[in-house]
């Protein structure tokens, strides 16, 4: 396992320049802000010049760029960057909303695995048959359909016609908070009433968000399975006369190794893909917060959210890399 | 090929026999035509690249034998056709708002006719006329005929699509080649910068950028009249929409910034393995400049998977662009845009279902087309699967076997 330790250190070291780079890009985004938001924050056209100057000074907007950069980075890391709309630190605002986004991604991930894995395996087992063709076309349709079209189709079917979900508000979290993710807490504390409420509110957005990723996973699983099937080891097992069921179990084991690592990447992708879903289903998560901050020219919030997304995404990539190194020693080189 | 033996100089070549369908003959004609066309500009190109032309023909045969890829190709061709001529086919101009003359034209359901009593100022003259608008698939918030807006929106989608793919991936591929070929400090610098951009989820970076860029771009356009006219011509827009271009182009710039790093990473990876080959070393030994080796020797050998990725990304750009304008970030009315139509329909869903359904169907079809074509290309460009397809194509008992080509 010496190789693994070395790999982790090296992988961790490349993490640092990326993080610094991320702060630079975030800063550039903040720097090209048009000049008028200050007036908007101060209260629109009627704002006095002194109020505008005060806000400019507060956000260091009248300082040279390196000072602005340091102010921004300090603000991001110490959570002292205030959201000009409600004067609350940006990451405090984000904290509560991130729970909603995380729960949404969790539901989506559940559907990704539930749909993508079995259908991908079936498609590979029945390769080049009618079933396979239908499943492959289905996967392609999942991938090609924009989330906003899929969402309205589902809302029409499941909300307007069958009324199987709710679209307003979010259910309260259970009393005992352990992980702070409501749906997990309600399972741990055996609070089934709350669990049902959470599921009723979140299953449709999760399903919608997950369906495209499920299509990707179906294709990936199928290819991975066929790749594992065409290896020499499979030929050997066949020659040895191993029955089909056991043969497939061996192949499946080999095929699922890359699939597990892609799942970590997909979870990062699901977390990042929430803005459209949250807008349509009216969920107060960080994606919606980002969009609202765009609408209200609330750039500190936008920068905070963008930074958080980058951190989450980079971490997901890191986890995927580590998982891959754990299951496949060859990549540690 | 086949019966069309007009070039006597080709006849010394060993001929392979194929079962030809009508599609094969058409594709042969097209490729021969292309070769003649290139021959006009590059002397002797056709004679010297006979094997290349042959290979292209074989690729076309493989394509002709894959129905999904053909379907994708047809969809893509139709999309490009409507992207070019769509604005001129539209029966109503995109900036004519019937709702100003008759309020019942707002969100008119499919199949309705609305009578308009129009009073408008044109060339400093007040003109009156009456007309009837037939909404075959409904109207939008401004009473515009949905079909006309969809047709006009094809131009917006195509121009954004083509230019984003032309600029973003090209830039990414170039950087990837340089990083992979030179290695060392150059590689490290380029890849660290690429990693920074890859750290952001595409949609989020695009949202952030298209939120902050419009002001700057609008300023730039207001000071550069030529750029302004060029953009208006490209998108087939009227001069009065010039103040809406900032938001549209912000999406354009944002998506270019989002779209290059993936290509850099992929190109660098395949360049790293490709440059170890003997032919690269030989090219270096005879003193060819690195530029030539990179772009003329290495690039053609690694371009296959990248082409597949580009094809699929044509669909990806449409999805993302429409997603951004669905969120209200990209094109704003009156600029015709598919995503924006869905945004309008979403506010009145499910009453105005046609505003979600028809643009939705259009987007799904186009994206599906690109994806099908990309899937087909993957099989065709991969020499192993292509050879296996060619075996099926060959006539039984043909002389020569699968020797060259």
Q: What is the pLDDT of residue B400?
A: 44
Q: Report chain B residues whose CB lies below 8 A from the CB of A139.
A: none
Calculated CA dihedral for residues B139, B140, B145, B150, nearest 10 degrees:
-120
State pLDDT tens for residues B312-343.
Answer: 999 999 999 999 989 888 888 888 889 888 98
Cβ pair B258, B166 in contact under 8 A? no
Average pLDDT over residues A222-251: 88
Rounded to an integer, the average pLDDT of A191-202 is: 85
Cite the DSSP H helix spans in B183-286.
Answer: 184-198, 202-212, 214-223, 225-235, 245-274, 278-285
pLDDT at res. B15 = 53
Q: Is B100 on the interface with A (CB under 8 A)?
A: no
**What does the pLDDT look like over A100-141, one tens digit per residue?**
899 899 999 999 999 999 999 999 888 888 998 899 989 999
List the single residue in B with minimal CA-CA distance to A155: B350
Q: Is the pLDDT of residue B95 over 50?
A: yes
Owner of token pair 């007036």: A39
B261 touches chain A (CB under 8 A): no
| A152 contacts B204? CB cut-off 8 A | no
Dist CA B243 CA B165 (whole Å): 25
Determine whether the interchain pair B199/A160 forms a contact, defined as Cβ–Cβ distance below 8 Å.
no
Question: What is the nearest CA distance from A262 to chain B, expressed in angstroms?
Answer: 16
Q: Which of A142, A149, A213, A294 to mutate to test the interface with B (most CBs of B within 10 A)?
A: A149
Whether the ipTM is more than 0.90: the answer is: no
The whole-angstrom distance between A139's CA and the closest CA on chain B is 11
Residue B9 pLDDT:
46
Q: Are A279 and B327 contacting, i.e. CB atoms less than 8 angstroms apart?
A: yes
The reported pTM is 0.87
Q: What are phi and psi of A181, to 5 degrees?
A: -95, 110
Contacts of B199 in chain A (CB under 8 A): 18-19, 21-22, 310, 313-314, 317
Largest CA distance in chain B: 78
Mutate to test the interface with B, among A12, A20, A25, A293 (most CBs of B within 10 A): A25
B204–A contact, CB cutoff 8 A: yes
Supply the angle between the helices B299-326 and B338-347 in degrees, to the nearest 10: 30
Does residue A217 surpass a pLDDT of 90? yes
The pLDDT assigned to B403 comes to 42
Residue B257's closest CA among B320, B309, B336?
B320
Residues of B in contact with A317 (CB under 8 A): 199
Residue B123's pLDDT is: 76
The H or E element that residue A305 is part of is helix A299-327
For residue B326, list chain A residues with Cβ-Cβ distance below 8 A.
Answer: 146, 148, 276
B305 touches chain A (CB under 8 A): no
B371 touches chain A (CB under 8 A): yes
Which of B201, B212, B350 is the closest to A29 by Cβ? B212
* pLDDT of A54 over the 80 cut: no
């Amino acid at each position: 396992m010496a190789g693994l330790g070395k790999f982790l250190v090296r992988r961790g070291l490349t993490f640092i320049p990326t993080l610094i780079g991320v702060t630079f890009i975030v800063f550039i985004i903040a720097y090209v802000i048009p000049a008028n938001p200050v007036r908007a924050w101060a209260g629109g056209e009627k704002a006095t010049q002194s109020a505008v100057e005060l806000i400019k000074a507060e956000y260091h907007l009248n300082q040279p760029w390196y000072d602005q950069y340091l102010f921004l980075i300090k603000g991001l890391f110490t959570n002292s960057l205030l959201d000009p709309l409600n004067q609350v630190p940006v990451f405090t605002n984000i904290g509560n909303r991130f729970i909603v986004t995380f729960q949404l991604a969790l539901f989506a991930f559940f559907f990704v695995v539930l749909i993508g894995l079995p259908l991908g395996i079936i498609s590979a087992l029945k390769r080049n048959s009618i079933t396979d063709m239908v499943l492959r076309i289905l996967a392609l349709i999942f991938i090609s359909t924009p989330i906003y079209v899929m969402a309205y189709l589902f809302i029409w079917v499941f909300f307007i016609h069958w009324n199987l979900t709710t679209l307003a508000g979010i259910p309260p979290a259970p009393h005992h908070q352990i992980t702070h993710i409501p749906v997990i807490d309600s399972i741990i504390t055996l609070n089934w009433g709350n669990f049902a409420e959470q599921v009723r509110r979140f299953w449709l957005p999760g399903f919608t968000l997950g369906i495209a990723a499920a299509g990707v996973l179906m294709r990936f699983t199928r290819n991975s399975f066929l790749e594992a099937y065409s290896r020499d080891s499979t030929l050997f097992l066949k020659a040895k006369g191993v029955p089909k069921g056991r043969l497939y179990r061996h192949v499946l084991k080999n095929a699922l190794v890359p699939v597990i690592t892609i799942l970590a990447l997909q979870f990062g992708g699901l977390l990042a893909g929430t803005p459209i879903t949250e807008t349509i289903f009216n969920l107060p998560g960080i994606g919606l917060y980002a969009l609202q901050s765009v609408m209200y020219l609330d750039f500190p919030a936008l920068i905070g959210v963008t930074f958080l997304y980058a951190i989450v995404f980079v971490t997901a990539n890191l986890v995927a890399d580590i998982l891959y190194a754990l299951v496949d020693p060859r990549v540690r080189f | 090929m086949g019966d069309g033996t007009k070039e006597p100089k080709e006849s010394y070549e060993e001929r392979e026999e194929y079962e030809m369908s009508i599609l094969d003959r058409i594709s042969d004609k097209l490729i021969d035509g292309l070769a003649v066309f290139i021959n006009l500009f590059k002397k002797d190109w056709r004679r010297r690249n006979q094997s290349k032309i042959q290979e292209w023909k074989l690729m076309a045969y493989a394509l002709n034998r894959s129905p999904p890829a053909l379907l994708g190709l047809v969809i893509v061709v139709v999309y490009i056709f409507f992207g070019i001529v769509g604005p001129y086919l539209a029966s109503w101009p995109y900036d004519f708002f019937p709702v100003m003359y008759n309020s019942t034209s707002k969100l008119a359901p499919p199949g309705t006719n609305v009578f308009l009593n129009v009073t408008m100022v044109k060339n400093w003259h007040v003109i009156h006329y009456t007309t009837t608008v037939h909404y075959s698939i409904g109207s939008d918030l401004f009473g515009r005929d949905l079909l006309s807006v969809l047709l006009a929106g094809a131009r917006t989608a195509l121009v954004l699509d083509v230019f984003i793919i032309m600029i973003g991936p090209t830039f990414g591929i170039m950087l990837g080649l340089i990083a992979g070929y030179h290695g060392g400090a150059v590689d490290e610098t380029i890849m660290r910068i690429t990693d920074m951009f890859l750290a952001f989820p595409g949609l989020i970076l695009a949202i952030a950028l298209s939120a902050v860029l419009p002001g700057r771009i609008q300023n730039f356009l207001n000071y550069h009249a030529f750029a302004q006219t060029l953009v208006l011509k490209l998108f087939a827009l009227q001069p009065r929409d010039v103040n809406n271009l900032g938001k549209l182009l912000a999406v354009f710039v944002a998506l270019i910034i989002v779209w290059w790093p993936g290509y850099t990473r992929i190109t660098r990876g395949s360049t790293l393995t490709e440059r170890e080959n003997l032919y690269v070393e030989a090219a270096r030994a005879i003193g060819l400049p690195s530029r030539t080796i990179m772009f003329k020797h290495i690039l053609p050998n690694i371009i296959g998977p990248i082409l597949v990725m580009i094809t699929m990304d044509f669909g990806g750009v449409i999805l993302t662009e429409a997603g951004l304008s669905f969120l209200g970030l990209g094109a704003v009315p009156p600029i015709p845009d598919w995503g924006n139509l869905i945004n309008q329909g979403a506010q009145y869903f499910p009453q105005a279902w046609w505003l979600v359904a028809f643009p939705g169907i259009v987007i799904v079809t186009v994206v599906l087309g690109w994806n099908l074509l990309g899937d087909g290309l993957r099989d065709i460009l991969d020499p192993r699967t292509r050879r296996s397809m060619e075996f099926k194509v060959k006539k039984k008992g043909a002389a020569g076997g699968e020797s060259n080509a």
